Amino acid sequence: MASVEEHGLVSAGQPASHVFPIGSRINEVGRLEVGGCDLVELAETFGTPAYVYAEEDMRARARAYIEAFRSRTERFEVVYASKALPCTAAMRLLAAEGLSCDVASGGELHLALRAGFPPERIYLHGNNKSEAELAQARDSGVGFVVLDSLEDIERLERIAPGQRVLLRVTPGISPSTHAFISTGQVDSKFGFGIDDVPRAIGTIRKLELVGLHAHVGSQIFDLEPYERLAEVLSAIGDYPLLNLGGGLGIAYSYDDRPPSIEDYADALLTGAPEGVKVLCEPGRSIVGNAGVTIYRVGNVKRIPGIRTYVAVDGGMSDNLRPMLYGARYEAEIADRVGGGAVCTIAGKHCESGDILARDVTLDDPRPGDVLVMPATGAYGHAMANNYNAIPRPPVIFCRDGQAREVVRRETLEDLTLRDV
């Protein structure tokens, strides 16, 4: 059996591996704690599956972003990419920490306003914004709209003349990441290619063009594309704002070593001209490692010489990323961390592809165990669905040993609320 230390988790009072939230530990009775809360006890109190967040982890990462830029420049803005965790409580927390907000739909805009983001610190994105969404942005006093197409320009000039805008540029930079989350290459549904930018700028008559925006992709470990990005945008023209997107990767596995926030800030600022305000849009790297998902093991199916399936009470309805991107995760038994039996974590949905994690090591998994998957803080709650009519899990915030439900668990009655 692999030792606890080999998995980066040690005894009570010591820090957890980098895939777990900051401050996580194994407590005196041998159970994992997040935000000072015993995960086995949380499972008993709130049920499973459940998304569990260390509140102070999100605060710490937001502050780390602000400090990384503040120590290097006075002209910066950190804009939370709310699609990673469009949860009002999380957005309220990040607004209080001084972040701005990136929204990609009318729904995300509604949440951002409800959470308390000042409208002037909100950026509306989207490759196909509806007229209703543009009118909503106008009526809300949204600070900036990011133009993504010629139709975007025409609609916004008609609906909200005078609106401050940024132009989204597809920079022709292809980072090393999954094709589905790469956005900066020439063949992209987002933005204007370099050759099309002059024409797009030339069509703007009734809007205030204050900057350029680009995003090369997500879950990126190689910072070299960012070092080129500011140079590419600066060559287009002299604008006061350069929004260089998000995309910084996080640790999903014990072997992952993502770049630091400080190195990321250095890379973004490398090619930025003097006097330009640089914006970045972190999402995953603020909330991803702040959250874990807890499940209850239902059965263990051992196929000798082939595989051991550990079935849990969730799956592709609460974490779609393994099915969409082949995303890999670690897993642990909450009160027996560091086991050595190789297992496959199976969801409960009626799909053979409903597999949450392959080839993870667990300590003698048994029915009734609480299983923990770290690094699920980004895009779990955001992509949660009701496949097989499974109610969506709650969101639990933990801080100093106190747990509170910030999004309640859906009920069976919720599944029929919209029936007419």
Q: Residue 7 is encoded by which pair of tokens?
A: 């998995």
**Active-site positions?**
350
Question: CA 219, CA 289: separation in Å to the nearest integer?
Answer: 13
- Beta strands 32-34 and 25-26: pairing type? antiparallel
Question: CA 333, CA 335: separation in Å to the nearest integer?
Answer: 6
Q: Which of 346, 320, 23 is nearest to 180 (CA)?
A: 320
Residue 170's contacts (CB-CB under 8 Å, 6 or more residues apart) are 183, 184, 185, 186, 188, 190, 191, 192, 193, 194, 214
Question: CA 397, CA 42: separation in Å to the nearest integer?
Answer: 11
Question: CA 401, CA 32: separation in Å to the nearest integer?
Answer: 12
Q: Which of 52, 125, 64 is nearest to 90 (CA)?
A: 52
332-369 exposure pattern, b = at least 16 Cβ within 10 A, e = fewer: bbbbbbbbebebbbbbbbeeeebbbbeebbbbebeeeb
In three-state secondary structure terms, 39 is: helix
Helical residues (DSSP H) of 204-356, grouped into ranges:
224-234, 261-270, 284-287, 321-325
Q: Where are the beta strands (DSSP E) in 196-352?
A: 208-213, 241-243, 277-280, 291-303, 307-312, 332-333, 341-346
